[in-house]
């Protein structure tokens, strides 16, 4: 099976497994784990923040950030297609007593300053005030769209005028940086906190980083414990994370492979696949008479795994464990799948 369901399906390399085995560890709740300490220091350095915190998942990183930035009963302003709104089980409400206000971004995958001014509100006797703005880069559900730093600067500057913080869900931050040729510290310069995943595209088996100021990370460490994320000899998991940070530049290969994949799929009658900006390919199978679920099932029968992302839209992600040969084979197999379906043999 050529597994293109997500860039999370990668298997840890032999080097990562060896690094885990040999990691120097200690009790990280006591801050005694040298490998975690090194990962946090290197991660903070990479994104140019004062500090960083190792968290088990991207979801926990986003949820901790919201809890730290926003007061209970306040509102979080975010795009309805963000992971934090759509796919974190209502955690903002469930874990932190936060209400969401969703606004469709007017500028591709990010708000305009005008939208911030129009939707950030002060608390009064009747309405909750805005406690936080969340943005996502790359934007997964909008097709791996990479937003340039100037657009994030503009959002953050507008939010700052209202004294409201901005958290960046950068699960795939480095994909955006590589695609736009922007240094990570520049990309996150204006936001108040950023989460990025080591386990997406970069190949680590587990782990994400939440980064920001010293004061933010101190409080985030307390909330991580509150959410059950205080971990002990977790250097075993941080060690592969350190190696994952070395996999940033090769994301360009994933982007090139995604472009080849999209071009190949787009040339199959009945399918359309716009040119991707990063490693996320979205294929529409409506003209082939296939719902996304039917299309995914047909592809799977031909050895290619993807994920239904809408009525007729399927997502394929390129990653560390697929090369150009796999991508070419995937295109040929999907062509056969669609052909078999159209000729009624499925």
Ligand X SMILES: Cc1ncc(COP(=O)(O)O)c(C=O)c1O
Does 140 participate in binding ligand X (rule CB under 6 A)? yes
Does 59 participate in binding ligand X (rule CB under 6 A)? yes
Cα distance from N-terminal residue to C-terminal residue, the chain: 19
CA distance 300 to 199: 24
Pick the closer one to ligand X by CB: 13 or 137: 137
Distance of CA 239 to the CA centre of its chain: 21
Distance of CA 85 to the CA centre of its chain: 13
CA distance 201 to 244: 9
Distances (CA, A) of 311 to 37, 286, 292, 293: 45, 9, 6, 8
Does 282 participate in binding ligand X (rule CB under 6 A)? no
From 18-26, 57-65, 70-78, 319-327, give the range in contact with ligand X by CB under 6 A.
Answer: 57-65
From 58-66, 117-125, 160-168, 333-341, give the range in contact with ligand X by CB under 6 A.
Answer: 58-66
Pick the closer one to ligand X by CB: 7 or 33: 7
Instruction: Tell me if 176 sits within 8 A of 182, measured CB to CB.
Output: yes
Shortest separation between residue 312's beta carbon and ligand X, angstroms: 21
Does 169 participate in binding ligand X (rule CB under 6 A)? yes
Does 171 participate in binding ligand X (rule CB under 6 A)? yes
Q: Residue of minimal CB distance from ligand X?
A: 58
The H or E element spanning position 168 is: strand 165-170
Shortest separation between residue 267's beta carbon and ligand X, angstroms: 28
Does 137 participate in binding ligand X (rule CB under 6 A)? no
How buried is residue 253: exposed, middle or buried, by Cβ count under 10 Å (0-12/13-18/19+)? middle
Does 193 participate in binding ligand X (rule CB under 6 A)? no
Task: Kindly list the residues in this chain that would bind ligand X in the complex (CB under 6 A).
Answer: 57-59, 62, 83, 136, 140, 169, 171, 197, 208
């Amino acid at each position: 099976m050529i597994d293109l369901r997500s860039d999370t399906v990668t298997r840890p390399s032999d080097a990562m497994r060896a690094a885990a085995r040999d990691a120097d560890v200690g009790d990280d709740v006591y801050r005694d784990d040298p490998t975690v300490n090194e990962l946090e220091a290197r991660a903070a350095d990479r994104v140019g923040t004062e500090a960083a915190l190792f968290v088990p998942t991207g979801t926990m990183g986003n949820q901790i950030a919201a809890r730290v930035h926003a007061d209970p009963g306040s509102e979080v302003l975010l795009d309805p297609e963000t992971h934090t709104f759509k796919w974190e089980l209502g955690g903002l409400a469930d874990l932190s007593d936060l209400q969401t206000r969703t606004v469709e971004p007017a500028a591709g995958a990010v708000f305009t300053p005008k939208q911030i001014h129009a939707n950030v509100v002060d608390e009064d006797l009747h309405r909750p005030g805005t406690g936080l703005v969340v943005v996502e880069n790359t934007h997964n559900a909008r097709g791996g769209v990479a937003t340039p730093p100037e657009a994030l600067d503009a959002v953050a500057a507008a939010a700052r005028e209202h004294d409201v913080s901005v958290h960046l869900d950068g699960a795939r931050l480095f994909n955006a940086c590589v695609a736009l040729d922007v240094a990570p510290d520049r990309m996150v310069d204006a936001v108040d906190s950023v989460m990025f995943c080591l386990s997406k595209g970069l190949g680590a088996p587990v782990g994400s980083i939440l980064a920001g100021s010293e004061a933010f990370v101190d409080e985030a460490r307390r909330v991580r414990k509150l959410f059950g994320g205080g971990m002990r000899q977790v250097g075993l998991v941080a060690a592969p994370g350190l190696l994952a940070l070395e996999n940033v530049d090769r994301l360009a290969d994933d982007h090139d492979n995604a472009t080849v994949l999209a071009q190949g799929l787009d040339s199959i009658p009945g399918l359309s696949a716009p040119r991707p900006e990063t490693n996320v390919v979205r294929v529409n199978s409506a003209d082939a008479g296939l719902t996304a679920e039917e299309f995914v099932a047909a592809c799977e029968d031909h050895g290619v795994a993807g994920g239904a992302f809408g009525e007729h839209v399927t997502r394929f992600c390129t990653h560390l464990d697929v090369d150009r040969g796999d991508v070419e084979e995937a295109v040929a197999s999907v062509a056969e799948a669609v052909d078999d379906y159209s000729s009624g043999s499925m």
